[in-house]
A and B are shown apart, each in its own frame.
Chain A
């Protein structure tokens, strides 16, 4: 064995414990490094995300924001104004949402909340306002409405969402119900804000006046719009103390038609709807029946994560990801989604809400079969084009997908 003098010394130091040559070389390297003042790395990076870094470069940001103040927004609802205490201004487009990660009884729940004001209306500038209305039996909304206070920290991802105002649009019709009003408030402010000449027709429904979100602020916005904004708020039922201006009614086919006629909505108007699933379905049918083209209608659904998570294949499945012209094959372990499998293997895949609600993680299925949790936010034409949501899809066998 040719060890050289160094090796001999080391062997002597090691008291002849039968160290191999590899070991002695490694020992020598460590000692020489020490003499040069080099320290071995204190730790190794493992598979989980790097702390404080965005999870994947192409995904939206992930950070801790602090609650600056809590304001009442209606009965059973509060607005949380969130900011980055370091002073950095947060950016978003009216209509987009942030995903709040809230821990209840040790389990993290993710909920998407639309920003309920436009950037130009934010007070202070650069802060985000989300509005949370208590949902009967909803752990997260209950917790946020009841316990939020200034100074709280919230883990937040975003902004995300494709439900945004187009740049140049002459007229928008904003239709919403219940907590679906929140992104519409931001869109109305944006449409009336600096640099735009958009006309806004806003038709809202609520169970009763006390539960109508941001009602006073919207009335003030319409009053100060110089005639550019028409606002009609309907309530299912008037309460005894309600002001004479509160109108009873529902946004059904007849009422909607009458209100749109009354507001003299132009042919080129774009429609933005947000609210409960059933309401969206009936509004959409009414609009289509009136001759509005499907491409002029945008909807935002609030998807709640499905209660029963599908487990997918009980065996590990090979998932081939085409990213930027490269193919990477990763293993999807039992219980993982396509997104989990990709991120764990270090593949850059875009994502945001991870509960099938935002569409940020759409991938195209090229080969193989997946099961997806329903409902989710994929639109009909996207389904037809073979898109799947990586965050709620699990490979049932070998699968190839393209990451856009």
Chain B
């Protein structure tokens, strides 16, 4: 029945002009994202953010977005020092500071130079586009790869802006004093990441893609949630996990030396951030949350993981390149099966799943769901608190 009505809707939509058809497909996709969630509580908590991001496209309106915050600033006039692992991270973070001006910015970058490819040939299966009746010539191919790279870096930049503000909020809200000190270094780190990605896009690639609607939803949900541990879980585990996956793939694949070095520096910072996320949340989930609260976070993490896996699909690139040549559904199929995206998902979950296990959000109750979507293969990996930055880099290259 459902299939039947979907068919007839599709037929009707097919009669509309292409641009409008595209828009309707987009809304359908958004509705599917919002209704996909199994858990009504999770769905309800994501709904307002979903409306703002997917329907109103607030990230793409070309004006600043105001996001209200509802968290409490947690002061402690006794300055307790009871979290040695966080104190140690703080000490290491101070040592690990670097100056973005020291990167080799004089390197000239030609996005269209195939001898120093931003992304290697084969990152996207461009020949596979012929199956959809789209053929690109050599120059378009190179341009397309460069566009994808600029798109990825633009999303990193938007993500880092979110991380900068979330790190500041979490630093206010967290109850561990050693965590606050550490958090201050993370704020600096995120500021530096915004600096380097913006500078690279401005000076080297010359274009900034708009924020992906689904990334906007995740950031909006974190910023407007009053519970600090939700911000934390979202930012330190999920978004940073996504970032580590994406940075890692790009670091491994790009031939552009400045970008490679820039990412290497950023990844070393990110390794500390995820480590902190694991330490702080493990403490919080095991000691401070009730079972009901823990379950809610567990479900939320699962839904967000799926959102990231299935929806982070470079639609801005589709709008630029293929909106008049193929349907959104075809694009989704093409991009999610491309070798680069597969590698990205693999890297992301290899980091994220063990971290969720370590902080206690992968109980027997949720595991069958992870099993069902094929993510349990990552269960036994090492969590961030067991990985040094060096190991992480080694693993990435």
Contact = CB atoms under 8 A, between A and B. Distances in A.
A48 B205 contact: yes
Most buried by B among A22, A39, A41: A39
Contacts of B51: 13-15
Nearest to A152: B115
A18 B143 CA distance: 42
Interface in A30-86: 30-31, 34-52, 64, 85
Interface in B180-229: 201-210, 224
Contacts of B107: 106-108
Contact of A47 (B146, B202, B320): B202
A264 B348 CA distance: 79
A244 interface: no
A27 B58 contact: yes
Contacts of B112: 51-52, 64
Contact of B114 (A38, A101, A153): A153
A308 interface: no
Given A15-B48, A64-B113, A153-B115, A37 B202 contact: no
Nearest to A44: B208
Contacts of A103: 115-116
A254 interface: no
Given A19-B66, A153-B115, A42 B206 contact: no
A40 B202 contact: no
B63 interface: yes
A23 to B, nearest CB: 7
B372 interface: no
Interface in B80-126: 104, 106-108, 110-116
B60 A30 contact: yes
Contact of B210 (A36, A43, A51, A106): A43
Q: What DSSP secondary structure best describes chain B's contact surface?
A: helix
A92 B209 CA distance: 38
A26 B208 contact: no
B61 A30 contact: yes
Which of the four size classes fits the interface of chain B?
35 or more
Nearest to B320: A42
A245 interface: no
Nearest to A45: B207
B319 A39 contact: yes
A37 B209 contact: no
B68 A43 contact: no
A20 interface: yes
Given A14-B48, A17-B68, A51 B111 contact: yes
B113 A46 contact: no
Contacts of B202: 46-48
B56 A30 contact: yes
B60 A47 contact: no
A89 interface: no
Contact of B208 (A30, A43, A106): A43
B57 interface: yes
A40 B48 CA distance: 21
A22 B62 CA distance: 12
24 contacts: A13-B51, A15-B48, A22-B63, A23-B66, A27-B58, A29-B61, A30-B56, A30-B57, A31-B55, A31-B56, A34-B57, A37-B22, A40-B62, A43-B316, A45-B207, A46-B201, A46-B207, A48-B202, A48-B203, A48-B206, A48-B207, A51-B146, A106-B257, A106-B258
Interface of B: 17-23, 26-27, 48, 51-52, 55-58, 60-63, 65-68, 104, 106-108, 110-116, 138-139, 143, 146, 150-151, 154, 201-210, 224, 257-258, 316-317, 319-320, 323
Interface of A: 10, 13-15, 17-20, 22-23, 26-27, 29-31, 34-52, 64, 85, 101, 103, 106-108, 152-155
The 9 closest A-B CB pairs, nearest first, are A48-B206, A37-B19, A106-B257, A37-B20, A40-B60, A42-B320, A42-B316, A15-B48, A43-B209
Given A106-B104, A155-B110, 7 more contacts: A10-B56, A13-B55, A35-B23, A37-B17, A46-B205, A101-B110, A153-B115
